[in-house]
Structure 1
Amino acid sequence: MVVFVGAGPGAEDLITVRGQRLLKEADIIVYAGSLVNPALLEVRKDSCDVYNSACMTLEEVLEVLIQGARTGKNVVRLHTGDPCLYGAVKEQMDALAKEGIPYEACPGVSSFCGAASALGAEYTLPGVSQSVVITRMAGRTPVPEQESIRGFAAHKATMVIFLSTGMLPQLQEELLAGGYEKDTPAAIVYKATWPDEKVCRCTVETLARTAEREGITRTALIVAGNVLDGRYERSELYNPAFSTGFRKATDGGRDHE
């Protein structure tokens, strides 16, 4: 059995209880060493074999996973955040299925959740934004034309942008061309939840300049949207003037200013 485990956003205590148990039971761990906090591996058995996939090709990773599973070992493929986002797991799962190797996934806390925590932010505020766009700039991995930053920016929803810190001048230009105002609040969150986490608040117009000033060139998320400016409407869910399936409405509801 191979289990794909989400390591969480970085902090060693933000892996799930299930994920940590799987690490403790593993005979083989293949982890994404370029992004996963190595402190997560400290719970492993002394006899556990550890491989850093940052130094491996897909074929080499698969060889370890398949050979381990075929010899009856508990195999963990440890990915950063939650593997479903930019984890390149589908190609591994399909290769395992082709070889008749059973696998399952253990979800993790994504770094976009860690970034919200670092910012003290709620991505979906009443009257501001009820949608979150998770995307990236096109680089060596292309992005479909219909999913361009410029196109998504036209909605002015909250945007969380992965894998784009090295292209901030272009990203900034695309966000502005898509419809965000120059003074739209934005933030660069470097290594969210890690001990060396850094939060840099700025505007869409100053994203590139802020990153240059702070020396941030990689391992950061970009957040853009008016949810970061602090203004929003009161939630109807807890408004005394709003009925729910658990209580009746009373007078006294008012908007948050």
Structure 2
Amino acid sequence: MHFIGAGPGAADLITVRGQRLISASPVCLYAGSLVPVELLELCPPGARLVDTANLNLDEITAELVAAHEAGLDVARLHSGDTSVFSALAEQLRRLDAAGVPYDITPGVPAFAAAAASLGREFTVPGVGQSVILTRTSARATPMPEGEDLGTLGRSRATMVLHLAVQRIEEVVAELVPNYGAGCPVAVVARASRPDELIVRGTLADIADQVKAAGILRTAVIVVGAVLTASEFTDSHLYSAARCRA
């Protein structure tokens, strides 16, 4: 049983290990339109392909357990990376209870693909050295106490929001008190895909831009001064003083 991060959308942003596991697994469960169809072409001939988009957790678990009992390897593909917002934890809990062994192969996360598309580093010396990966609670499980945007925003750290673009106006309203209306923002939709779309602005105008662009899903919102920083100190990593030491 192999859980595999399938990357943010571009088919060639899959790890070598992930590619090898897919090609050796006679059963493949994948997350609908979020996983590029080209990856399914890596499956061996005659493989059982199961789109989990319309399956509930019980049905997904049943597929995984049945394959295990039949002695078949399974490639379970998740978009992006399995470590964040992947619904992996509840699947692992059920497989543990069923005594089904598994391994996990990480993938390229959406926020990393967005950073590459933007041509920016999210940890710039003297500007921002922390990245908050979060979401909002609308149409999803409630956020834990203390993880609302108002509380998280007090640090003014670089913030990347997943699953939140449909609430862009509410996001802006919650972030402006800490970041200020002039704080740089970028929204990257479908990062790394051929139809990728990037919108740049500030908290003052980003909501209108997102609406005008028709961005409704499959997007990350990036907020922070690192997006436009140009005057900053070089990092110590490659400094002359360090190299002489």
Same fold (TM over 0.5): yes
Letter in 1 for 2:124: L
Is 1:7 matched up with 2:3? no
Report the equivalent of 1:219: 218
Deviation at 1:36, TM superposition (A): 1.4
Cα distance in 1 for residues equivalent to 2:6 and 2:203? 30
Is 1:239 matched up with 2:239? yes
Structure 2, unaligned stretches of length 5 or more? none
Is 1:210 matched up with 2:209? yes
Root-mean-square deviation over aligned CA pairs:
1.0
Cα distance in 1 for residues equivalent to 2:226 and 2:97? 45
Counterparts of 1:91-110 in structure 2, within 5 Å, are 91-110=90-109
Counterparts of 1:8-157 in structure 2, within 5 Å, are 8-139=7-138, 140-157=140-157
Deviation at 1:34, TM superposition (A): 3.6
Deviation at 1:207, TM superposition (A): 2.0
Cα distance in 1 for residues equivalent to 2:194 and 2:41? 17
Letter in 2 for 1:248: R
Structure 1, unaligned stretches of length 5 or more? 250-257
Runs of 4+ in structure 1 over 2 Å off: none
Give the TM-score normalised by the residue count of structure 2.
0.97
Cα distance in 2 for residues equivalent to 1:142 and 1:180? 23
Letter in 2 for 1:59: D
Letter in 1 for 2:34: L
Letter in 2 for 1:175: L
Letter in 1 for 2:22: L
Q: Highest CA radius of gyration, 1 or 2?
A: 1
Cα distance in 2 for residues equivalent to 1:55 and 1:69? 22
Deviation at 1:230, TM superposition (A): 2.8
Cα distance in 2 for residues equivalent to 1:149 and 1:82? 23
Report the equivalent of 2:199: 200
Q: Secondary structure at the match of 1:46?
A: coil
Cα distance in 2 for residues equivalent to 1:39 and 1:225? 34
Q: Secondary structure at the match of 1:19?
A: helix
Deviation at 1:205, TM superposition (A): 1.7
Letter in 2 for 1:93: L
Cα distance in 2 for residues equivalent to 1:157 and 1:205? 18
Deviation digits for residues 149-204 of structure 1, max 9, x if unmatched?
11111111100000001101100000112x11111111000000011011111111
Cα distance in 1 for residues equivalent to 2:205 and 2:15? 36
Deviation digits for residues 198-220 of structure 1, max 9, x if unmatched?
11111112221111110101110
Letter in 2 for 1:167: R
Letter in 2 for 1:30: L
| Matched residue count | 243
Letter in 2 for 1:101: V
Letter in 1 for 2:137: A
Report the equivalent of 2:244: 248
Cα distance in 2 for residues equivalent to 1:138 and 1:98? 28
Cα distance in 2 for residues equivalent to 1:54 and 1:81? 15
CA contact (8 A) 2:127 2:229 kept: no
Letter in 1 for 2:27: I
Report the equivalent of 1:170: 170
Cα distance in 2 for residues equivalent to 1:38 and 1:180? 39
Deviation digits for residues 219-241 of structure 1, max 9, x if unmatched?
1000000001132221122221x
Deviation at 1:83, TM superposition (A): 1.1
Letter in 1 for 2:216: T
Q: Secondary structure at the match of 1:223?
A: strand
